[in-house]
Amino acid sequence: MTHSRIVVLLLLFVLVWFAGLDDRTLTRPDEGRYSEIPREMAVTGDWVTPRLNDLKYFEKPPLQYWATAFAFTTFGEHNWTARAWPALTGLIGLLFVFLIGRRLYGLQIAIAATAILASSLWYFAIAHVNTLDMGLTCWMTLTLAGFLFAERPEATKGERFAGMHAAWAGMALAMLSKGLIGIVLPGGVLFFYSLWQRDLKMWGRLHFGTGLLLFFAIITPWFAWVQARNPEFGEFFFIHEHLARFASTTHRREGAWWYFVPVLLGGLAPWTLLFLSRLRHVWSVVATPKPFHPERLLVVWCVFIFAFFSMSGSKLPSYIIPIFPALALLMAPSIVQTSPRAHAWNLGAACVFALMCAAAMAMIDRFANDEIPAELFENMRPWLVVTVAALLLGTALALRWRRRAASLRPVLAVAVSGLIAWQGIAYAYNALSPATSSYHLVQEIAAREGPLSRNLPFFSIQTYEQTLPYYLKRTMTLVDFYDELNLGLEQEPGKGIEHVEDFVPVWLALDAGYATMKPEVYDLLNKAAVPMRELGRDTRRVIVSRK
């Protein structure tokens, strides 16, 4: 492949990668939460103490909040600036995979690994929603790549020093992204890898002295500063958010031991069958001893992280995304040489998926309920057609080119089809946004009533819609609601109202104000003759005024 073609492909890829970030509305809960915290940082100028709805929020470290707040202050508050950090770190993670893949296996395999990762459903999805997992994955990938770069037999002394310190910096940035797992997971991987390799001398090559200095130089300023301002931070962050989250089901995110198996297999699409067809080959490579064994490290990386989260008492589908870069590096050398038969099976799977989508589109009204009406599901149809067409065309081209003995073309065909297909899925899901985001409701009220005043009191009764503060550009007073904001309300109880009964006299004493609540709560207050004027509603919430 010529350099000019590579440049054209890169430009097209970047265009597809960033497409749609602004078109899709932010959805609840994560996208609203992780947009509102940096919005409040940018507004208040307090970049030390994270706040959600003006309440202290210490569940996660601030690196992504800082990056998003910077995007808001530089480019304005938009959907794309809210999602810019996950999309950018997803792209940077792809660059890390390409660079280390080229060092280990050459240019062709590096391109294949990058294409596989970029077009894997779960990696693409997490890079295009505003959660913290892609930032974590990016810096953990730097850690993995830095170690592999430093451990190569041909690495010079300077390269070993640079690689190991890149790994230490990656662990520090991962910790600033999502906490202790940024160092616990890589540490566990290296421990089991050294046992498998019977190479305990490896630990002497980690540059612990200067590496730890770099690590603590990156993480210490914020942790020390936030602890000095908020004495309650340490116990909540390290005990409640790490030990309790892993060892118990207190966060109500439990799942069976096999919870992540379907996430992994589905998340690898459209590569799932191709990967499974080459597992025996991968194992034969891993079983062959050699002094430096990148494949063994990649396998330990995947298995340990997968097992770690499988044993955790708190599970979410996005937790295993850090294994996908390692999987792509494992898959690429063998998938480039995958047989036409495997590609035929992959095309068959695409056809089965097409039939499933066709059946779902024919019965789409059956998915409707009170919160998501049938017409929203019907709006998904055109985008699902795009998804199916892209997968069928791409896998068919891959089969044709593989039969002609082409090596990289089939991989790129599947990758491009996957990228287009997953963009179709993203737009299809956005068709449900009137039920998954408060954006439309806020816009409808503003068009009819004018923008809601940010100077009047605004109450959220027995609910907290995560996207509402971001689109209103203001915080609310919580009434009879705690959940993840319990710590903040304990520290500043005057910012909430404990019971609905206590809210009513406050509301009656106002000349003007706003409130939001679920429809059933509105009906109860209306029956109790609490004065309210309905400004607007959707399937999940009602917004009223005191006037």
Span 283-333, pLDDT tens digits? 898 988 988 999 999 999 999 999 999 998 889 999 999 999 999 999 999
d(CA 378, CA 365): 7
* One-letter amino acid of 426: A
Categorise residue 529: left if φ over 0, alpha if ψ from -120 to 50, beta otherwise.
left
Q: Count Cβ atoms within 10 A of the Cβ of residue 459 and give its class: 0-12 exposed, 13-18 middle, 19 or more buried.
A: buried
CA distances from 4 to 7, 8, 10, 11, 108 (A): 5, 6, 10, 11, 15
- So what's the pLDDT on residue 337? 83
d(CA 138, CA 325): 9
Phi–psi pair at 22, nearest 5 degrees: -95, -25
* Residue 437, both tokens: 């985001």
CA atoms within 13 A on the CB side of 345: 12
CA distances from 313 to 82, 132, 249, 251 (A): 30, 19, 5, 8
* Residue 350, both tokens: 């695409």
* Residue 231, both tokens: 């004495």
- So what's the pLDDT on residue 281? 86
User: pTM here?
Assistant: 0.95
d(CA 531, CA 459): 14
d(CA 148, CA 298): 10
Which residue ranges of the chain lie beneath pLDDT 50? none
CB-CB contact of 401 with 338 (8 Å): no
What one-character DSSP code corresponds to residue 259?
A: T
CB-CB contact of 72 with 38 (8 Å): yes
CA atoms within 13 A on the CB side of 235: 4
d(CA 359, CA 453): 47
d(CA 483, CA 59): 12
d(CA 514, CA 459): 6
**Terminal alpha carbon distance of the chain:** 68
Q: Count Cβ atoms within 10 A of the Cβ of residue 106 and give its class: 0-12 exposed, 13-18 middle, 19 or more buried.
A: exposed
User: Omega into 493 within 30° of 0, i.e. cis?
Assistant: no
Phi–psi pair at 218, nearest 5 degrees: -80, -40
User: Omega into 291 within 30° of 0, i.e. cis?
Assistant: no
d(CA 542, CA 136): 36
CA angle (1, 323, 160) in 5-degree steps: 70
- So what's the pLDDT on residue 144? 98
d(CA 138, CA 88): 9
CB-CB contact of 479 with 497 (8 Å): yes
